[in-house]
Amino acid sequence: MNVLLTQAERDAALPELLAAGWTLDETRDALVKDFTFKGFVSAFGWMTQIAIFAEKWDHHPEWFNVYNRVTVTLTSHDVSGLSPRDIKMARKMDALAAK
């Protein structure tokens, strides 16, 4: 069962993610980040890696790709806001983008 982040979980996780370039969506409880890669193949390869985790974790991002850029929005639709799964996915995205 998925649940919204508690205030303590938000206070612990969000500063790290915000420092890494994530922003909070002003219109809803979601995290947003723009990733830039060397080219289309690198961007698409990263998306493919993330898709494997997304399927395994049953947590699929909203994303938009143009050439070497991928804009990601993370939120948990089943609880209408940020959940621990969003934090886990954001961290995985950052880790794989850094490689």
What average pLDDT does the chain have? 96
Q: What is the pLDDT of residue 97?
A: 97
36: in domain: yes
pLDDT band at 81 (very low <50, low <70, confident <90, very high): very high
Q: In total, how many domains does the chain have?
A: 1
Indicate whether 93 belongs to any domain. Answer: yes
In which domain, by residue range, is 72 found? 24-97
Q: Is residue 19 part of a domain?
A: no
> Mind listing the pLDDT tens digit for each residue in 55-74?
999 999 999 999 999 999 99
How many Å apart are CA 32 and CA 71, to the nearest integer? 7
Instruction: Give this prediction's pTM.
Output: 0.95
Q: Using one digit for the tens of pLDDT, what is the confidence trace for 9-55? A: 999 999 999 999 999 998 999 999 999 999 999 999 999 999 999 99
**What distance in Å separates the CA atoms of residue 69 and residue 14, rounded to the nearest whole number?**
23
Inter-residue contact 97 to 86 (CB < 8 Å): no
Task: Give the domain CATH number at 46.
Answer: 3.30.1360.20
* Strand 69-74 with 62-66, pairing: antiparallel
Cα separation, 63 vs 55, in Å, equals 15
| Residue 61 backbone phi and psi in degrees, to 5 | -75, 160
Q: Locate all alpha helices (DSSP H) within 1-98, ordered by sequence.
A: 7-19, 40-57, 84-97
Q: Is residue 17 part of a domain?
A: no
